[in-house]
Structure 1
Amino acid sequence: MRTQYTYEPFGTTTTFGEGSESVFQFTGRENDGTGLYYYRARYYHPGLHRFLGEDPIRTSSRSFNLYLYVENRPLSFTDPLGLTQVDIDIAERMIREAFVHLRFPDKVSVPTEDPGNQGEYRRYYSYWFWF
């Protein structure tokens, strides 16, 4: 394994192994290189546990805090666009139902310039790891 990311509930990231050029990290969002995550509608700061910009919808939370990330409940909710929280269990069920007829490969090979590196991804427990 080249790079492994470990995330705390609010997105603080620990990286093991070699560096990776992948910008997609916490909740599948782009790390802009400064440690901020781009959620389409606004940027998220994992160290502050909040968005840097106000909620553009302004009615998506029961709180008066317009910078709140998933109502401070990251183990129960996700916010894929920076607009409103989505219950994780409901989101997972919707994804599974949408992809019920798809078959995913157990291994994918990616050509590389290094003859000693086959560029192989393997799937374990529904997660993909780079080898």
Structure 2
Amino acid sequence: MAHLQGQCCCNSLSSRHSLAGTPLTALRQFRLTAPRQPLMVEARVHIRFQRRGRKRIPSFRLVAMNSRDRRDGRPLEELGWYNPLSKETNLNAPAIKKWLQQGAQPSQTVGDLLRKAMILGEADFKRAGKQNKLKPVSERDSS
């Protein structure tokens, strides 16, 4: 390999000069000089819990995060906290409303907590769970 040092074994420099007028070279130059558009990936923001505390002593932070980030990753903003053992909560209602107006989606558990705190109404958040598939009594008798 020492004898090839400083030399180009594939003669790429001479091949570039010989292709200077071809359409392929013009396309390569355009790709290098054309302004690139930023890659648009829709990143949704979720309002969810971030676990804190110790083993068997949980506490949670209420955070606004990118939906693709891991659970305990860096949040966009901390919105409050919740202690499930003592049932204490501390919520920053104006910040939560701001994120909801911007299109952030609360998780199911956070949505339940926000409805209990009256930050969300029933019409604002519908829990996507199992639907009651039982028919009313009047429909069962007629079938």
Verify same fold: TM over 0.5. no
Task: Normalising by structure 1, report the TM-score.
Answer: 0.25
The structure with the largest alpha-carbon Rg is 2
The structure in which a higher percent of residues are helix is 2
TM-score of the two chains, using structure 2 as the length reference: 0.24
